[in-house]
Structure 1
Amino acid sequence: MDGHDAGDNKQSTADMTQFVQNLLQQMQNRFQTMSDSIVSKIDEMGERINELEQSINDLRTEMGVEGSSSPLTTSKKPVVPKTEEGSA
């Protein structure tokens, strides 16, 4: 192996290293963009839920049921009678 092949090999390794670094940077940028977008959507959803809760509370106040608790916190699961399955 002569010095020319070793130089080509080092250049090839440097090129590959640069390519991988660029690829990783692009992936990081895309990941950051997607992450920011997801966080933004979650914040939007939280604001919309808060607005919805406020609208529900306003409606309840208008209807005169201000003192009752939220249907979400007082709802009970329907009672389903147990059946003996598998017994013949």
Structure 2
Amino acid sequence: MDSRHGQGQGHDGGDSAQSTADLTAFVQNLLQQMQSRFQTMSDSIISKIDEMGSRIDDLEKSIGELVKEAGVDSPPSPPTSSQGQLPPK
């Protein structure tokens, strides 16, 4: 048992340091790839949100124009009768 335990302590010191350096480089590369992909996805999401905002603005303008064409000055007010209201608690 003692012979196996002592294997990692002798001449393998340089191999262990190289293995640690390789692992560190691999992890750094992996983290850089993840960061790059995250940034790409983030940029894409922000672009789509901006596009949706623009489309909503266009839709609001179109609705406003339709309301003007229909001759309606303001949106309908909520019903004042008890039919459209919730009963008191």
* Partner Cα distance (2:45, 2:20) in 1: 37
* Partner Cα distance (1:15, 1:75) in 2: 69
Match of 2:61 in 1: 54
Offset, 1:82 = 4.7
Q: Which runs of 5+ in 1 are unaligned?
A: 84-88
| Aligned-pair Cα RMSD in Å | 1.9
State the TM-score, normalizing by the size of structure 1: 0.76
Offset, 1:64 = 1.4
Percent identity for Structure 1 against Structure 2: 64
* Partner Cα distance (2:17, 2:35) in 1: 27
- Alignment partner of 2:17 out of 3, 6, 10: 10
Q: For 1:35-60, what per-residue CA distance to the aligned partner results, in whole angstroms no more than 9, with x for missing partners?
A: 01110110010000000000001111
Specify the code of the residue in structure 2 equivalent to 1:53: E
* Partner Cα distance (1:75, 1:12) in 2: 72
Q: Give structure 1 regions of 4+ aligned residues with deviation exceeding 2 angstroms.
A: none
Aligned residues: 77
Q: Are 2:40 and 1:40 aligned?
A: no
Q: Please identify the structure whose Cα radius of gyration is greater.
A: 2
Offset, 1:25 = 0.5
SS of the equivalent of 2:87 reads: coil
Q: Which runs of 5+ in 2 are unaligned?
A: 1-8
User: Against the structure 1 CA distance between its residues 57 and 75, is the aligned structure 2 distance closer, same or farther, given a 3 Å change threshold?
Assistant: same
Q: Which has the higher contact order (CA 8 A, sep 6+)?
A: 1
* Partner Cα distance (2:52, 2:78) in 1: 24
